[in-house]
A and B are shown apart, each in its own frame.
Chain A
């Protein structure tokens, strides 16, 4: 492990999301993490940042940069996302029905569902007027 922690300030825009993905890749490269370890975090980052930018921030006409923290230690990668959009608890969202045929599939909720399934641990709290999500996953041996 070379870089234990990195903090990103992500602009609330599609370009910001694109850069964050690049930063996560760079953090992973520096720490020599294999692709198999990183892609779940790329998906989670995309899901959460998209949600914040396209729902949270759009509704309120913008927001401060989203704070993303990457922390690596003891075989666990931890991703923390802090934003000041309206309160949104991803853990409170109902799971989508994944058994319905294609024409009846609702599109909402799928991203959050993936976040919960891809990570070992997901914790949410609303603190100091901000949403704070912490996601953890043990890295493959």
Chain B
């Protein structure tokens, strides 16, 4: 799975492309945990390019959000398509994450002094 990365205003944006499933979620987990270990505290996961997500993907996002908060960090998810949104809603995950409609909104949310 391609994982695109961008940095803006001190915020790291990670954008996986394709499907986040049992096959690809491991790679996403490794990448995100690597960033946390490297000291990233403001993270956006842009889901625009994600076709669908299965529970393997949800587990990775849950793991990352549970790691980021004790570190004093913040994570925002953005640009979910319909399929990703539906899975989040069914799993009751919409209450766990900060979710906004676009990357710009996510950046606005995390911008400014940490």
Contacts and interface: CB of A to CB of B under 8 A. Distances in A.
A102 B52 contact: no
Given A14-B23, A42-B21, A43-B52, A114 B87 contact: yes
A111 B87 CA distance: 10
A60 interface: no
A39 B96 CA distance: 23
Contacts of B65: 102
A117 interface: yes
Contacts, number: 71
Nearest to B82: A36
Contacts of A39: 51-52, 83
Contact of A111 (B55, B82, B92, B95): B55
Interface residues of A, number: 28
B82 A101 contact: no
B19 A42 contact: yes
B96 A102 contact: yes
B21 A46 contact: yes
B12 interface: no
Given A39-B83, A103-B66, A111 B23 contact: no
B76 to A, nearest CB: 14
B95 to A, nearest CB: 8
Contacts of B21: 17, 21, 42-43, 46
Contacts of A23: none
A5 interface: no
B67 to A, nearest CB: 11
Contacts of A117: 90
A42 B93 CA distance: 20
A110 interface: yes
Interface of A: 14, 17-18, 21, 35-36, 39-40, 42-43, 46-47, 49-50, 54, 98-99, 101-103, 105, 107, 110-111, 113-114, 117-118
